[in-house]
Amino acid sequence: MSSAIVLNTTRYSDTGSIVHLYTAEYGRMQYVVYGNKYKGVLRPLSIIEFTITRRKNAPAQLGALSSASLIIFSIFLIPKQFKNWFYTLQLELLYKHVVQKEGKPDILYSHYLHNTYKALRIHKKYNIPLVGIEHWSQMAFQPIPKATIALAKQVYSSIDSLISVSSALRDNILKQIGVNSIVIPNMVGKEFCYHEHHHTTPIVRIVSTGRLVFEKRFDLLISALANIHQPFVLDIIGNGPEKNKLQQLIQKHNLKNNVNLLGYKSKQEIVKILQNSDLFVLPSQSETFGVAYIEALACGLPIIATDCGGPRDIVTKENGLLIPINDLESLERAITYMINNINHYNRQAIAADCISRFSSKSVAKQLTTIFENIYKKK
């Protein structure tokens, strides 16, 4: 057993969390945890005990990522509500530990505005280039809160490069904050992959994944399906505060035999469900990117998405339909069209296109180019 301090937990892909730990033995480590069974345990600054399983000759994770010949110190760990000097100092102490183990990093790479703000101390004190990547949902607001704009102008003007995960997010940041950024998308996990599937029954299997919150508009999806006359089954994967309302809506529309709220599922279970479904639909109000969409595409599913930001960079005429947000009639028409034309979509080609654009290899290549160009300017 090893002991660790929980640094932060960050929601990931609406179905799990990335947990960041700090151990005396291995330094900073991170794991993806699915479900809510550890929710009360993994609070920031709590001390936990856990078992580490390591492959033979595998290096310990120390918070530094090797990128070509560069050492990248990745900052993805401090909750945004912790703004006082103590947590900025804690980040610096963690940085010093990494330096002792790995040497001085060449690049600081920070996720989210509030983390990048805290990283400025290291950036300025040790004269290390700082790259920020933005995928915080608040940066897609219309309008962005004034306090956030003021902080963003201070931070973004002080770093070496800013990355946005979608062109819509880039455009909103440029319009409201006046800072340009480079678009590099999120990546899809290699677990999500194509598996041959043929639609041979009259029933179309529709799937949707996400946290059960109003912004995902599962209520709109259920209401749209109430007016669909072709045979279908909808599986919704995820938990959240809207669950009871959705159950009531299912009963109201007499869809209890058609719509299943599956709750939490492991990543392996999600992959299997996607691979054995025919269509993915998620009518969100806002997405800075939309990892759930590319997870479905990687499994070969055509998708219906809303024009809510991130999906503009994801949907093509070959892989699905992009419809207006909060538009019940458009959603009904899109679902009807997809059900009638589901066999016209080439699932294998959809998956291959997704991997070519959003695989870890593709995204890492783009990041590495930025890091190397900045390093050359030092």
221 and 367 assigned to the same domain:
no
CA 89 to chain centre: 28
| 340 inside domain | yes
Q: Which residue has the higher pLDDT, 189 or 46?
A: 189
pTM of the model: 0.81
Q: Which residue has the higher pLDDT, 114 or 297?
A: 297
112 and 157 assigned to the same domain:
yes
pLDDT above 80: residue 378: no
- Average pLDDT of the residues in 19-29: 63
Residue 270 structural domain: 204-358
pLDDT above 90: residue 248: yes
177 and 224 assigned to the same domain:
no
323 and 364 assigned to the same domain:
no
* Rounded CA separation 105/107 (Å): 6
Q: 170-175: list long-range contacts, CB under 8 Å, 24+ apart.
A: 172/139, 172/140, 172/142, 172/144, 172/309, 173/134, 173/139
80 and 172 assigned to the same domain:
yes
The three-class DSSP label of residue 284 is coil
- Average pLDDT of the residues in 273-285: 97
Q: Which residue has the higher pLDDT, 100 or 332?
A: 332
pLDDT band at 13 (very low <50, low <70, confident <90, very high): low
367 and 325 assigned to the same domain:
no
Q: 360-363: list long-range contacts, CB under 8 Å, 24+ apart.
A: 360/187, 360/188, 360/189, 360/190, 362/187, 363/184, 363/185, 363/186, 363/187
| 12 inside domain | no
Tell me how many domains the chain contains. 2
- Average pLDDT of the residues in 55-63: 35
pLDDT above 70: residue 299: yes
CATH number of the structural domain spanning residue 247: 3.40.50.2000
325 and 365 assigned to the same domain:
no
The mean pLDDT of the chain is: 85
Burial (CB count <10 Å: 0-12, 13-18, 19+), residue 267: middle
For residue 178, give the amino acid letter: G
| 49 inside domain | no
Instruction: Name the strand (E) or helix (H) holding 107.
Output: strand 107-111
| 304 inside domain | yes
**pLDDT for the residue numbered 86:** 61
